[in-house]
A and B are shown apart, each in its own frame.
Chain A
Amino acid sequence: MGIHVIKMPDLGEGIAEVEVVAWHVQPGDTVKEDQVLADVMTDKATVEIPSPVHGVITSLGGAIGQSLAVGAELIRLEVEGAGNYSGDKARQEPAKSGAAKAPAEEVAEPQLEAVAESSAPVKASAPAPAAKPAPRAPQKPSQGAPAMRAAGEKPLAAPAVRQRAWDLGVELQFVPGTGPAGRITHADLDAHVDGHRHGAAGGGRDERYAEQHGEHAAPVIGLRRKIAEKMQEAKRHIPHFTYVEEVDVTELEALRAQLNARYGLERGKLTLLPLLMRAVVLALRAYPSMSARYDDDSNVLTTYDAAHIGIATQTETGLMVPVVRHAEARDPWSSAAEILRLAEAARSGKATRDELTGSTITITSLGPLGGIVTTPVINRPEVAIIGTNRIVDRPVIRDGAMVARKMMNLSSSFDHRVIDGMVAAQFVQTIRGYLEFPATLFVE
């Protein structure tokens, strides 16, 4: 019998650590070759780790939510034959015996030395979130704990408490009692009244205004943690400035309807997004510095001749930004098809790492939920993000007369370290020019 150790694979350039998001096996399980052992996540792409061998799991390399360095031990198996583990005996032995006795504790054993974020050793081996339960107020002995009254049960309180409650206009049935058998004390009444006075509690007397005391701690792991980190990084590093301009999209919408009527069946329907992408591509010709990645650690701003446009996409687990590569080489229908394919891949968790990285500028659109103005967060290390807002029919003055036009705001944010306000404004105005005279999108 030998030991086979599966290490965290190198999942792509520049990835130093990978987060474990799911375990499909537990110590003691027998696994077959190619059986999926774990899901790990890098930079928004979730990767399944299959077993290269047949064997019995003896230990897992970390808890769910824990990030492991590339090359760190992920899973240890007992296999027929020699295995691949050549560590010294001293380390091998305790691992084996430990696995036999208490596999759950194995997780926190020394082989976790390589774990990057081992500050919080977690002892759970089950594939459940290992977060600590929410801190709870110290519980009094059972008799002293606030007892919930059953429906229709009278509140229990001494006559003096009852009278004071009436004087205060408090219905005792809404006051939790902390005394023996749920007796309501003067102190309970005080606490209840205080709560009301400070607005902590609703003023009502029915269920709709009942105080709610639940707290639900949930671990921020997986994609959510990635999003949190990226958002935090972006906001911490980038001095954003947001520029909002309104765009008359009446003509664009008319054209879009025309195109969809004419080509919808054979080429697929166009949304506004591919048309906007085309406008951005054209505007980038004049403002190439907008298609860029700014490495602020080494103070290098790389601008790209290509337009790899990230499309912010809502998935069930959170925000993802799949990338339409070389948007400059696509016509609107090609872009539309690519957006559709990428969104589908992102939502089903099938998007590859390449499809989720490498954008040079990002577009974010909430469609009809777009609101009036947004302040988009830049997809670091890019330097610009363009957001669309809702299209509404609005009265505007044209040639001295008021007419109804379809108006849409563009809310765009820029990295003010490398983009000056004037340039950003001109860039947005250029986009606006293309959108308001949509023929220019096609006729150059």
Chain B
Amino acid sequence: METINTTLLIIGGGPGGYVAGIRAGQLGIPTVLVEGAQPGGTCLNIGCIPSKALIHAADEYCKVRGYAAETSSLGITAGNARIDLNKTVAWKDGIVRKLTGGVGALLKKNGVRLVNGWATILDGKTVEVTPDGAPEASVRIRCEHLLLASGSQAVELPFMPFDGTVMSSTEALSLTSVPERLVVVGAGYIGLELGTALRKLGAQVTVVEAAERILPAYDAELVKPVAASLARLGVELRLATSVLGMEDGRVKVRDASGVEAFLEADKVLVAVGRKPRTVGWGLENLMLDMEGRALKVDDGCRTSMRNVWAIGDLTGEPMLAHRAMAQGEMVAEIIAGKRRHFAPAAIPAVCYTDPEIVVAGMSPADALDAGIEAISASFPFSANGRAMTIEGTDGFVRVVARRDNHLILGWQAVGVGVSELAAGFTQSIELGALLEDVGRTIHAHPTLGEAVQEAALRALGHALHI
């Protein structure tokens, strides 16, 4: 068996792992990255990117159907809308290929050796890698530093295992035909993003959620426009309802009052969360300290074993690609001898629901919990010119700031296209902006960003356009 010696060995080629690899390469650290599938991980292959492609396609299709139904107030009509989902998926796969190919090229460019295969940890410095279906081609890799970036996987309900009908988000993104009746289990962002897209593609969609409302992780005000949109689209919501299992191809559910019902379903999407991928590849052998289901790391992403590092979803919430990337970059720099800490002021999060939700930093409730006396103010898109021109007047921008010195603590927004506001939100928090800083910054007209400035002004008591 071939043995490779290296300084840094990264297990997992997702956003965390590949960014760590690129940065390590830039810093001249001999690096090997092990990935069993295509580089890019969940995000590029079966998560963020393909779902956004599908959502976009669904939006476009839905729009044309509206034109065909002559319901558009824009005065546009069109002939019958048709979609060939095979071609849609092929288009999406093209994007994924381009991106994953790009990651491979970036790794190569920076001198990172990409080893294809599935890693099994033998000890803290030794890993065996076996390519899919080729055990004879196994290699052994010895390293000084071991960076674990194995990511996460969809949570499977024990009474409803994944099969042809019951699927995770991975399969939902590769459907070649639109199911007639889709039941989505879980009204978190993944369930709602995909449920909405498939509804727009023509499926009858029922979302079952155990909690009292959709998107339980976000505050009720922020979720209201999304709920209204779901109602307009005809997505059926069954809240405070739990799923009991499959029976004769139907989904058995029970509502809060104990009444059981059966939901007809051609496909069932289970989107009840993701869990760190900690078993099946020898991680247990290292007996690392855990924090719940995730690996416990310090603010330098060090595990309990010296020179064994972990980043990304493996280290728990928030399971977001951009967090993993920042951690990966940091770990590479620490290994290169720099002093670094993972100490972001805010990690933004985006839901590509319809309309979109974006949050960065503290909500009013977070500030209250933290014992900070805060002020918050919202500016509605119904008072924003740009929002009117793109038919996106539902929603608002909200700012949360300290009452004493006006330091901005957080931003929330819901509305069409607000995901792009994440950059400004997070920058203002990282740079320690005050309400006055944002209020005194000229925001281009006509843009949705004006609502950001106006929210800050409103918190100061002198919004101009409301």
Contacts and interface: CB of A to CB of B under 8 A. Distances in A.
Given A180-B405, A181-B402, A181-B406, A166 B432 contact: no
Interface in B410-466: 430-432, 434, 436-437
B339 A180 contact: no
A158 B431 contact: yes
Contacts of A167: 338-339
A334 to B, nearest CB: 72
Contacts of A179: 432
Contacts of A169: 339
A182 B405 contact: yes
B405 A181 contact: yes
Interface in A138-187: 143, 147, 156-159, 162-163, 166-167, 169, 179-183
Nearest to A157: B432
Nearest to B344: A159
A180 B338 contact: no
A231 B343 CA distance: 59
A180 B407 CA distance: 8
Interface in B202-238: none
Nearest to B372: A153
A154 to B, nearest CB: 8
B430 A158 contact: yes
A180 B430 CA distance: 14
Contacts of B341: 162, 166
Contacts of A183: 432
Interface in B346-374: none
Report whether over half of chain B's contact residues are helix, strand or loop; otherwise say mixed: loop
B108 interface: no
B343 A162 contact: yes
Contacts of A162: 341, 343
A156 B407 contact: yes
A352 B257 CA distance: 97
A162 B431 CA distance: 10
A159 B434 contact: no
Nearest to B407: A181
B366 to A, nearest CB: 14
A167 B405 CA distance: 29
A159 B330 CA distance: 13
B405 A143 contact: yes
Nearest to B402: A181
Interface string B125-166: 000000000000000000000000000000000000000000
A158 B432 contact: yes
B340 interface: yes
A117 B223 CA distance: 78
A158 B432 CA distance: 6
Given A143-B405, A147-B405, A156-B407, A180 B432 contact: yes
B300 to A, nearest CB: 10
A156 B402 CA distance: 13
Contacts of B430: 158-159
Counting chain B CB atoms within 10 Å of each CB, the highest count among A156, A157, A167, A181 belongs to A181
B270 to A, nearest CB: 38
A302 to B, nearest CB: 72
A142 to B, nearest CB: 9
A179 B407 CA distance: 11
Contacts of B338: 166-167
A238 to B, nearest CB: 60
Contacts of B407: 156, 180-181
B434 A181 contact: yes
Interface string B45-84: 0000000000000000000000000000000000000000
A179 B97 CA distance: 47
B437 A180 contact: yes
B432 A181 contact: yes
A265 B83 CA distance: 120
Contacts of B405: 143, 147, 180-182
A355 to B, nearest CB: 61
A337 to B, nearest CB: 67
A435 B411 CA distance: 87
Contacts of A166: 338-341
Contacts of A180: 405, 407, 432, 434, 436-437
A167 B340 CA distance: 8
A166 B436 CA distance: 29
B314 to A, nearest CB: 24
Nearest to A166: B339
A179 B430 CA distance: 14
Interface string A215-235: 000000000000000000000
Interface in B386-423: 402, 405-407
A359 B244 CA distance: 106
A192 to B, nearest CB: 16
A158 B428 CA distance: 9
Contacts of B339: 166-167, 169
A346 to B, nearest CB: 54
Contacts of B343: 162
B247 to A, nearest CB: 52
Contacts of A182: 405
A156 B343 CA distance: 11
A141 to B, nearest CB: 12
Interface in A311-333: none
Nearest to B334: A166
B295 to A, nearest CB: 23
Contacts of B437: 180
Nearest to B433: A180
Contacts of A143: 405
Nearest to B405: A181
A158 to B, nearest CB: 5
A157 B429 CA distance: 10
Contacts of B406: 181
Nearest to A159: B430
A156 B340 contact: no
Contacts of A181: 402, 405-407, 432, 434
A179 B432 CA distance: 9
A181 B431 CA distance: 11
A284 B374 CA distance: 82
B370 to A, nearest CB: 10
A135 to B, nearest CB: 28
Nearest to A177: B432
Nearest to A156: B432
A251 to B, nearest CB: 69
A159 B345 CA distance: 9
A166 B341 CA distance: 8
Contacts of A158: 430-432
A169 B341 CA distance: 11
A181 B432 CA distance: 8
A162 B333 CA distance: 14
Nearest to B339: A166
Nearest to A180: B434
A40 to B, nearest CB: 50
A149 to B, nearest CB: 11
B152 to A, nearest CB: 27
Contacts of A156: 407, 432
Nearest to A153: B372
A256 B383 CA distance: 100
A158 B431 CA distance: 4
A179 B431 CA distance: 11
- Which of B339, B340, B432, B434 has the most C-beta atoms of chain A within 10 angstroms of its own C-beta? B432
A349 B430 CA distance: 64
Interface in B316-352: 338-341, 343
A183 B402 CA distance: 14
Nearest to A165: B339
A163 B434 CA distance: 21
A327 B402 CA distance: 76
5 contacts: A156-B407, A157-B432, A167-B338, A180-B405, A180-B432
Given A159-B430, A180-B407, 5 more contacts: A156-B432, A158-B430, A180-B432, A181-B406, A181-B407
User: What 5 pairs across the A-B complex have the smallest Cβ distances?
Assistant: A181-B405, A181-B407, A183-B432, A166-B339, A156-B432
